[in-house]
Amino acid sequence: MTQTTPQHTPMTQIPVKDNQLIIGGITLSRLAQRVGTTPFYAYDRLLMTQRVAELRRHMPPDLKIHYAMKANPMPAVVQHMAGIVDGFDLASAGEMKVALDTAMPVKHISMAGPGKRPAELNQAIAAGITIHVESFHELKTIAQLSEQSGIQACVAIRINPAFELKASGMKMGGGPKQFGIDEELLPEALKRVKTLGLDFQGFHIYSGSQNLKAEAIIEAQQKSIALAMQLSEHCPCPIKKLNIGGGYGIPYFPGETPLDTQAVGDALAQPLADFKSAVPEAEVIIELGRYLVGEAGIYVCEVVDKKISRGQTYLIVNGGLHHHLAASGNFGQVIRKNYPVAIGNKMHNKDLETVNIVGPLCTPLDILADRMQLPKAEIGDLVVVFQSGAYGYTASPSKFLSQPDAVEVVV
């Protein structure tokens, strides 16, 4: 049976014109010509800008929106984000370098992550960014480095809360975790911050990632604010920053629906107002990676061979898991599901066929599409993977099998 639309309608904000995807205002074929080679990643500036603007409309006006750089640390993307978000959250000295090359003021930059090395901490102290402390040992190291350099370190404590963010793709709080200091130990940690003479900024509570359920996020945000209120009596000075995390997800697979950010924003208004009236100086921050950039990016590769094996059609492309581990299903998925994929230069062709799209690597794991119905493609056509703006290239084992690198462009 032939359908008129591909079985897996791409969930994407990217427009189509004359049978071609339009990215950054130009057709995909022309963009491929401009880039000069495949595979490549392309990130659409306008889509990132629109996403942030829409989110601001849905969130309470005095909520700060930070960009978590690990989702996409490409310098040109980070430069663009610097102009549209309120701050950056980073997780390594490498990301810090990219962040500090932008105009983002250091007072709006923070660094989290377990196992920060003394050299990294030293750089962060010198830069004047806020360090999210994840353990007692780290606290001590920061104090020592601070004393050696004569620069008072800015610290916030990352709390591993007693609650968890329900229905998350990845849980990063609640129960035993390598992240943050357990909620029960906070009074002791705060005492140490005071005796060590560090510049206390506040709290960071990050409980999970890739969540599409508004109710789950609302609950975690409310609990985070309540926890901060409860701990405020133990703080050496009033809280200046309260980072309540994020975890806002995007849909990847059939049946998933976009997160209702309006509901999240509406539910946050009252707790935020209550917190602000108790601690008027405090900034309340959410930090998002995937939600801000994930849908603004595509991965593009080219069909280099087409063959039939025992009745199944294979499109063999020049890109794969070495550039896009997540699309291959090997980045945190339990059961492999197809990412939204299209033939980007034949978007509306009615002549469909069921294909497997595989990469050039000598491993059966290198799959971009498993039996998907798509417009009939030939050698030279462009296969596009949507939802590729976050956790794409830098979350992939690009050295595996010594294939050429992908190019990344912002359009």
Tell me the CA distances in angstroms from 286 to 63, 64, 217, 220, 291, one per residue in order. 7, 6, 11, 12, 11
Q: Which stretch binds ligand PLP (CB under 6 A): 3-11, 21-29, 204-212, 295-303?
A: 204-212
- Of residues 6, 12, 73, 89, which one binds ligand PLP by CB under 6 A? 89
Q: What residue number has its CB nearest to ligand PLP?
A: 289
- x/- binding map, residues 319-348, to ligand PLP, per CB under 6 A? ------------------------------
Structure tokens belonging to residue 358 = 């595989």
Q: How many residues at the interface with ligand PLP, by CB under 6 A?
A: 16
Q: Is 95 in the site for ligand PLP (CB under 6 A)?
A: no
> Minimum distance from CB of 290 to ligand PLP (Å)?
3
Q: Which stretch binds ligand PLP (CB under 6 A): 100-108, 282-290, 341-349, 377-385?
A: 282-290
Nearer to ligand PLP, 105 or 332 (CB): 332
Q: What are phi and psi of 370, to 5 degrees?
A: -110, 110
Report the site for ligand PLP in 212-271 (rule: CB under 6 A).
246-247
Residue partners of 358: CB distance under 8 A and separation at least 6:
314, 315, 316, 317, 320, 366, 367, 368
- Of residues 32, 48, 52, 71, which one binds ligand PLP by CB under 6 A? 71
Nearer to ligand PLP, 200 or 291 (CB): 291
Distance from C-alpha of 161 to C-alpha of 177, rounded to nearest angstrom: 10
Q: Which stretch binds ligand PLP (CB under 6 A): 250-258, 281-289, 339-347, 377-385?
A: 281-289
Distance from C-alpha of 172 to C-alpha of 177, rounded to nearest angstrom: 7
DSSP per-residue string spanning 81-101: HHTTSSEEEE-SHHHHHHHHT
Q: Is 288 in the site for ligand PLP (CB under 6 A)?
A: yes
CB atoms within 10 A of CB 106: 17
Distance from C-alpha of 312 to C-alpha of 194, rounded to nearest angstrom: 66
Q: Is 90 in the site for ligand PLP (CB under 6 A)?
A: no
Q: Which stretch binds ligand PLP (CB under 6 A): 18-26, 64-72, 137-145, 216-224?
A: 64-72
Q: Is 386 in the site for ligand PLP (CB under 6 A)?
A: no
240 with 283: CB under 8 angstroms? yes
CB atoms within 10 A of CB 273: 12
CB atoms within 10 A of CB 218: 18
261 with 58: CB under 8 angstroms? yes
Structure tokens belonging to residue 158 = 């990352």
SS3 233: helix
> Minimum distance from CB of 208 to ligand PLP (Å)?
8
Distance from C-alpha of 396 to C-alpha of 402, rounded to nearest angstrom: 13
Q: Is 171 in the site for ligand PLP (CB under 6 A)?
A: no
Nearer to ligand PLP, 82 or 288 (CB): 288
Interface residues with ligand PLP (CB under 6 A)?
68, 70-71, 89, 112, 206, 209-210, 246-247, 287-291, 390
